[in-house]
Structure 1
Amino acid sequence: MKIVPLADRVVIKAEQAEETTKGGIILTGSAKEKPQVAVVVAVGPGGMVDGNEVKMTLKVGDRVIAAKYAGTEVKVDGEECQIVRQSDILATVE
């Protein structure tokens, strides 16, 4: 199944959580922090949103940091993704 976001929406997928700490301690599933960096997997076309023209500046493959509680989590083909507005993306990671 393929997700095609509408308007100013972006589909992102979180990168894998770290398995060990910098000191070498192996983390259990409950001790792992939710990763902040995600990869853009789909981008909407932009257009008019709430009476304002929105130009999409993100592209598929960009690494980004999104607001912590933004968007909607969805599960597609067993993989967890998040659909957020472009304005909920805080930064790109290079």
Structure 2
Amino acid sequence: MSLSMKPLADQILILPAAAEEKTKSGIIIPDTAKEKPQRGEVVAIGDGKVAELTGTVITPRVKVGDQVLYRKYAGSELTFEGVDYMIMQEKDLLAVL
């Protein structure tokens, strides 16, 4: 996917996974009861955060294409070119899957 948006500093742009449509037992979940997903795919990353003491750039540990888990209320939702994304700092990521 070619994206014309580049996050700044340690910001990471994530394409959230689709919300579950039904439970494991087959019950269909209505739109009003769906949980926001807490996982997604990294689609763009910033160059990194500048360390305050040394002034060196600390590059993010994730890379484009990684599947990640993130905090429930982390980041900001945004729509770009008709696609919904989440943008957040690297510190809001919990794990790489």
TM-score (normalizing by structure 1)? 0.87
| 79, 85, 92: which one aligns with 1:75 | 79
> What residue is the counterpart of 1:28 in the other structure?
30
Aligned-residue identity in percent = 42
Q: Give how far 1:77 is off.
A: 1.4
Equivalent residue of 1:12, what SS? strand
Aligned-residue CA RMSD (Å): 1.6
Deviations 1:44-65 (A, max 9, x none): 111415x164221111111111
Aligned mate of 2:90, from 69, 76, 86: 86
Task: Report the alpha carbon displacement of residue 38 of structure 1 after superposing the two structures with TM.
Answer: 1.0
Moved more, 14-23 or 70-79: 70-79
What residue is the counterpart of 2:44 in the other structure? Answer: 42
Unmatched runs of 5 consecutive residues or more in structure 1: none
Q: In structure 1, what is the Cα distance between the partners aligned to 2:67 and 2:10?
A: 17
Specify the alignment match of 2:5 in structure 1: 3
Q: Give 1:12's aligned amino acid.
A: I
